[in-house]
Chain A
Amino acid sequence: MAGKIHNAFDNIKANSQLKQATKQFISEKYNDKTLLVRRRPVLQKRFAIICMALIIVAGVNGYLWVKTPVSYISIDVNPSIELALNRFDRVVSVTAYNSEGEEVIKDLPLKGKIYTSAIDTIVESKTMNIYLTENSELIFTIAAQSSHESKINTGVKNRCGHTGHNSQSVTTDTGIVQDAHNCGLSIGKYYAYLQLVQYDDTITTDDCHNMSMSEIQRLITGHGHNTDNTDTNNGCSSDNSCITEGHHHEENHE
């Protein structure tokens, strides 16, 4: 009986008319451009996915590249504020390290600004001016990659000259940034702490946290370390005096 099925189906043939119609149908499809285009979605899809992935990767990397801080400027009086700058020297974040600092930066539009403009905005703010008295010390501490350090320092020095206050700029390397932040201090205050602790190892970062920069500076001076150095001119502009100590570099501006 199995043979019966075989024999029965042998009678069912695709006639030549059907074959010819199919060949004609196929031939027409070869000339159908829309069909050819429609058949490419696998490749197109893959290409689109790769492009999308590349765009996303480029976008994320670009975003990180622009948003990653590479330089820091700490502005310390009693308010302790730190600006984080990207590769284009624009402010990507602003951090206050005490309540006075928080009060100063509150409502100030600083993000995205070029650092010189951000410094002007901070120093000229009404709240900051409460702290910029005759006896106060405005200290800018710059931690930047060597390629940016000189440029930022020049920019800060120019802003120092315009503040009309007793100001000082210090450059340090970026190595202390993480340590400073771990201690809850701006790099400016942490740098001052490092100087002070050389003479008084009982001093702690918490102590410095609660002191103004002028108080810390007075303690350092009291220990016989001349941080003023206004009498030493080692190549800065005639208006400013500088001190170079290892890789640290301080300048006073009046």
Chain B
Amino acid sequence: MRSEQEVINAVDKYADMVKHVCFYHLKNSTDAEDVFQNVFLKYMLYEKPFNDDEHEKAWILRVAINSCKDYLDDFFRRNKVPLEVLNEIAAEVPEEHREVLEAVLSLPVKYKDVIYLHYYEGYSAVEIGKILGKKENTVYSLLSRGRKILKEKLGGDENGW
């Protein structure tokens, strides 16, 4: 088990990243808080050492994504209308970014992860493949289709994404 200080440091370091993952996966802030805390609980209980910071970050990302998916596996949660999230966006995010976030949130789940990991975290298709446990070609394909859907929603040049 990791020390309490290690976990506190990780909360400070990765809180925003985990929040992003919870945000684009989950339907409301209560769900997000549950999963958010569980991610760091898993980190606390994970005993194997990390090779470096990048390894640690990728591990937390993978755990956060999987935790969200597990949480959504509940049929009732999966079918809830994400009204609260949209309302939260309205409250937290400036007008000019709201449309982009809403477009990302409306993507099918399989595209959300690759779009976030690539465009926000800056991971390559190979790295995303490792984090998500998918083949590189599958990641390229998901990125391409996700980009196309976003373009349709937001307009603009697809290649410019």
Contacts and interface: CB of A to CB of B under 8 A. Distances in A.
A21 B150 CA distance: 35
Interface stretch (B15-23, B68-76, B127-135): B15-23
Interface stretch (A5-13, A45-53, A138-146): A5-13
Interface string A144-181: 00000000000000000000000000000000000000
Interface stretch (A24-32, A68-76, A187-195): A24-32
A41 to B, nearest CB: 11
B97 A8 contact: yes
A19 B92 contact: no
Contacts of B11: 19, 22-23, 26
Interface string B1-34: 1001001100110011011100100000000010
B16 A12 contact: yes
B101 interface: yes
A69 B151 CA distance: 84
> Would you call the interface of chain B mostly helix, strand, loop, or mixed?
helix
B19 A4 contact: no
B40 interface: yes
A27 B41 CA distance: 10
Contacts of B12: 19
B101 A8 contact: yes
Given A2-B119, A8-B97, A29 B18 contact: no
Contacts of B156: 1
A21 B101 contact: no
A25 B41 contact: yes
A42 to B, nearest CB: 9
A40 to B, nearest CB: 10
A1 B157 contact: yes
A5 B120 contact: yes
Given A12-B23, A13-B16, A13-B19, A5 B104 contact: yes
B15 A18 contact: yes
Contacts, number: 88
A23 B8 contact: yes
Interface string B73-113: 00000000000000000001110011011001000000000
A12 B98 CA distance: 11
A26 B4 contact: yes
A14 B16 contact: yes
Contacts of B97: 4, 7-8, 11
B20 A9 contact: yes
B40 A6 contact: no
A247 interface: no
B45 interface: yes
A14 B13 CA distance: 11
A60 interface: no
A1 B1 contact: no
Nearest to A27: B4
A22 B15 contact: yes
Given A2-B160, A19-B11, A26-B7, A14 B18 contact: yes
B93 A14 contact: no
Nearest to A7: B97
Closest 7 CB pairs of A and B: A14-B15, A8-B97, A14-B19, A8-B100, A5-B119, A11-B93, A25-B37
5 contacts: A2-B161, A4-B97, A9-B20, A9-B116, A22-B40
Given A8-B97, A22-B36, 8 more contacts: A1-B161, A2-B161, A8-B93, A8-B101, A14-B36, A19-B11, A23-B7, A26-B11
Interface of B: 1, 4, 7-8, 11-12, 15-16, 18-20, 23, 33, 36-37, 40-41, 44-45, 92-94, 97-98, 100-101, 104, 115-116, 119-120, 150, 154, 156-157, 160-161
Interface of A: 1-2, 4-9, 11-14, 18-19, 21-23, 25-27, 29-30, 35-36, 39
